[in-house]
A and B are shown apart, each in its own frame.
Chain A
C-alpha cells in the first residue's frame, strides 16, 4: 500500500483550495485599501498565494499521474480508469477520464492563465485576480473530498481516495483490508483514440479562457472603469473563441470517426452544453469589438461576457450533476456534487447580477439611435441572432432542469426532452444559420466602409450575383430541392464571396486586419459543408442482389446493407468491393495482422504467430507472441476502380460499458465526398459454425492435396513437448502438423495437433477462418510414413456493411480550419495592440 503519495496528493488539494482563497482575499485587500504601501504588500501577498496555488495544482497533477503511471491500484482512480496494458499516451488520457481529473485539468489551465495575467497586466492584476482566484477556489473545492464532521456533508470528491474507501461495502475489503487488485478496470476502449488525448485539454483550455474576460468585466464594474476593461479582455475573448471552437470541433471529429451514428453532431446535451456558451462567446466578441470602435454596445458586452461564464458554469452543472441522467446518451456519474455545483453557479450568477444592477445607471451609453446603415446596427443584429440561436438550444437542453424545478414546486406535468433531438434543433438552427450567413456578409461591408444605400448595393452586387449563380448551378447539379437547404447554401456562398472581396482589398492595404474576413469565409464554408454532408448524406450500400440478407432483419436493414462473403467481389458506389477477412491490431505499433495467421490464446490480448509475419514496420518470427488490442476486430475491405485500390478497415469492438458490440467506421476520403463505412452485422464468434461432414485423406509429407477446392500441402510433422502451455508427461506424445494452403490472396498455415495423453487420444484441429476450412490431424501411420488428415468445410466468412456517402464534408473541415486561422490572425493583431498599450504604460 502506498499511503504516502495519496496523503501528499490530498495535502496539495487542501493547499490549493486554501491558497486560492487567500489569494482572492489578499487581492481584494490590494484593490480596496487606499494606502499605497499596504496596497503593494497585499498585492505581493496575493501573488505569492497564487503562485503557491499554482504550484500545488501542479503537485496534484504530478501526484495523480504518478499513481496512474505506477499502477497503484489501491487507489480508486487508477483502478477504475487505467490498467497495465495502456501505453503512456493513453495513461495521460486516463487522467481526465474521471470527473475529478477533468476538474483538475480545468484548474490546471486556470493556474496557467492566472500566472500569465499576473505577469502581463500590472494595472488590472489585483481586481482581476480577486475574481479569478475566487472562481478557482470554488473549482478546487470540487476535488476537496472533505466531510464536515457532524453534518455528514461532503465537500468535493477527491481523486486520491483509496479503492477500499470508495467501495467500503465490497466483501473483499471486509475480509482483507490490505487487498490490492492485480490490474485495473482499464480505460473505455472507445476513448483509446488520439483525439481523446488532445480534445479534452483543448476544450478545458477553452472553458478556462472564458473566465478571463469575465474577471476583467467584473473588475471593470467594481472599479467603475466601465469601458477600460474591454481592451485587455478582448485578446482573451478572441483566443477563447478559437480554442473553444477547436475543442468542440475535435469532439465532433472524434464522434465522426469513432461512433457509428453517421455524423459529427448529434445534439446531445453534452454537445449542446458547450455549443451554447461558444455561440454567446462569439456574440460577446462582436459587441466588444463594436464598443472598441464606436463606444456603443457597452451594456450588451457586459451582459454577454457575464452570460458566457455563467453559461459555462451552467453547462458544468448540467453535465455533472446527474440532472440529465434520464435524458442523455452519455453516461454521467453523479458524484453527489450537485448541491455544490448549484452553489457555484448561483454565487457567480447572483453576484454578477447584483454588481451589474448597482452600477447599471452609471454605465455610459449613447442616446443616439444607430442608423440602419451603420455597422453597429448590423453587428448588433448579428450578435442577437447568435444569442437566439443559443437560446433555442438552451431551451431544449434545459427541459430536465425545468422539469425538476416544476416538480419541486409541486406541479404534476412531467416534461421530457423531445424524442427526435436532431429534428427538433435542426428546424430552428438552419434558419438562424441562414441569417448568420447573410449577416456576416452584409455586416462585414458596413464594417469596412462608411456606407449608404447606393454604395452598399454597388459593393454587394458582385458577391450577391456570384453567390446566386453558383448556388443555382449547385441546386441543379446536386439536386438541392429543399428551400431551407438551398437558402443555407446561398447564404454560405454569399458570405464566402463577400468576405473574399473584402479580404483581397485588405491584403493589399493592411493584411494584419484580415482576421475578420478570413473567419467569416470559414463560417460560409462551414454552412455549405454542413448543408451537403448532413442534408444529402445517402446510403450507398444498397443491396442490389435481389436477395434478402436474412428474414430476421427488417425490410429497411435488408435494403440498406450489403452482405459480403470473403473474396466474393460486389459493386458499390462505382467501386468493386471485396471483403478480405478479419484483422487484428497490434497494441503498441501500427499495422494489421491477418487473424488466420495467428493462434489465439487464453488472453484475448495475446496471440502467437503461426509463421513469419511483417506487421507494419515490425517483423515477427514464427511462435512469437504479439500483444494485440484484443477487444477490437477489423474487417479488411478492398475498393477497386480501374488500377486504383483502396483499403478500408471498419472496426467492431467488444465494449460492455457501451452496450456490447460497437461498430466504428472507416472513412475513404475522396475530394468531393467521404465514403463512410461501418459493419452492421458480423458473425457471432460464440455461435458454433455448421461444419460439413469430415472428409479424411492419407497424405505423405510434401504431398499436395485439395481442401475445399484449395491446394494444400503437408509441410512437416514435428513432435512437440508443450501444448498451449500444458506440460506433457513422460508417457505422453504430441505431434504438430504444419499444413500450408494456397488461398486466393496468399498462403495460410494450419497447425493441427495430435496428442496421446494418459493413453487417451486427443486431436486439436486448426481452423483457417478466411477459407472456411478446418484441418484435423486424425492419425499417424508410421508403417507407411503417411498421415491421415481430416478436412471440414463451412460457409465462408462474411460481414454485413452499411456505407454512406457524405458529400463535401471536406468543405466543412476546411471551413472550420479557416475560421480558426481567422481567430488566430485577429488575436495576433489584438495582442500586438495590447503590447503597444502596455509599452505606453496604459495597462
Chain B
C-alpha cells in the first residue's frame, strides 16, 4: 500500500467521523408528541419545536401567563401537527413575542411542561420578513 493511499484513508476516516458526529450532535425539529415520546424514553437531548402561539377564533393570543417572580413566563404553543403544549421560559417575555408569526422553541420536557432554553421568533416586518432572536 502506498503512503498516499494510507493518507487518503485517514482523511476519509476523519471526514466520516466528522459527518457521523455532526449527525449525532444535530438537534431535531419535531412535534410535541414526538418530543414527549423521546423524553419518556429517557432521551433528554434538547430539541427544536416549530409552531405558533395559540389564538382564539378572533385571532387574539391566549394562554400567556406571567411567572410569579415576574422574570419568567409561560405560554401555550400549537405545533405544526396541531398539538397544544404549555411552554415555560425562564426569562421575561421577548419583545415582539405576541406579534410573531412563527415561534421556534429549543429545549426539553421537564415533567408535563416543555421547558424552553431559547426562543427564536419569526416576525412579519414592515415589508420584508425579519427574524428576531432572543
Interface residues of A (CB under 8 A from B): 166-167, 169, 322, 325-335, 369-370, 372, 381, 384, 388, 391-392, 395-396, 399, 403, 413-420, 424, 428, 551-554, 656-657, 659-660
Contact = CB atoms under 8 A, between A and B. Distances in A.
A388 B10 CA distance: 11
B95 A325 contact: no
Contacts of B19: 395
Contact of B26 (A326, A415, A659): A415
A164 to B, nearest CB: 11
A656 B129 CA distance: 16
Contacts of B27: 415-419
B62 interface: no
B129 to A, nearest CB: 6
Given A167-B127, A326-B50, A428-B18, A659 B134 contact: yes
B69 interface: yes
A395 B14 CA distance: 13
B84 interface: no
Given A331-B131, A419-B46, 18 more contacts: A167-B127, A328-B131, A330-B133, A331-B133, A332-B131, A334-B128, A369-B3, A370-B3, A388-B14, A392-B18, A396-B25, A415-B26, A415-B28, A416-B28, A416-B29, A416-B106, A419-B47, A551-B69
A333 B128 CA distance: 7
Contact of A388 (B15, B46, B120, B130): B15
B55 interface: no
Contacts of B95: 656, 659-660
B89 to A, nearest CB: 13
B22 A395 contact: yes
Contacts of A659: 94-95, 132-134
Contact of A369 (B4, B15, B106): B4
B128 A552 contact: no
B60 interface: no
Given A416-B28, A418-B25, A391 B15 contact: yes
Contacts of A331: 130-133
A816 to B, nearest CB: 26
B110 to A, nearest CB: 15
Contacts of A413: 28
B70 interface: yes
B71 interface: yes
With most chain B CB atoms within 10 A of its CB, the pick from A167, A369, A392, A403 is A392
Nearest to A657: B132
Contacts of B118: 419
B48 interface: yes
A396 B29 contact: no
B37 interface: no
A428 B21 contact: yes
With most chain B CB atoms within 10 A of its CB, the pick from A169, A332, A370, A415 is A415
Nearest to A552: B69
B131 A424 contact: no
B29 to A, nearest CB: 4
A649 to B, nearest CB: 26
With most chain B CB atoms within 10 A of its CB, the pick from A384, A396, A416, A659 is A416
Given A326-B50, A331-B130, A332-B131, A418 B69 contact: no
A433 B43 CA distance: 32
B11 A415 contact: no
20 contacts: A167-B127, A325-B122, A326-B50, A331-B131, A332-B131, A334-B128, A335-B128, A369-B4, A370-B3, A395-B22, A399-B26, A413-B28, A416-B28, A417-B27, A418-B25, A551-B69, A552-B69, A552-B71, A554-B90, A659-B134
A326 B128 contact: no
A468 to B, nearest CB: 26
Interface in B104-134: 104, 106, 117-118, 120, 122, 125-134
A369 B2 CA distance: 8
B133 A396 contact: no
Nearest to A185: B126
A494 B25 CA distance: 33
A330 B132 CA distance: 8
Contact of B130 (A167, A333, A395, A415): A333
A261 to B, nearest CB: 12
B69 to A, nearest CB: 4
A403 B7 CA distance: 31
Contacts of B14: 388
A147 to B, nearest CB: 16
Contacts of B22: 392, 395-396, 399, 418
A335 B28 CA distance: 27
Nearest to B67: A552
Given A399-B22, A428-B18, A552-B69, A166 B133 contact: no
Interface in B14-38: 14-15, 18-19, 21-23, 25-30
With most chain A CB atoms within 10 A of its CB, the pick from B47, B48, B94, B128 is B128
B32 to A, nearest CB: 14
With most chain B CB atoms within 10 A of its CB, the pick from A369, A370, A417, A551 is A417
A416 B48 contact: yes
Interface in B39-83: 45-48, 50, 69-71
A416 B25 contact: no
Nearest to B70: A552
Nearest to A418: B25
A372 B7 CA distance: 12
Contacts of B2: 369
A414 B30 contact: yes
Contacts of A169: 127
A551 B70 CA distance: 11
B106 A419 contact: yes
Contacts of A415: 23, 26-29
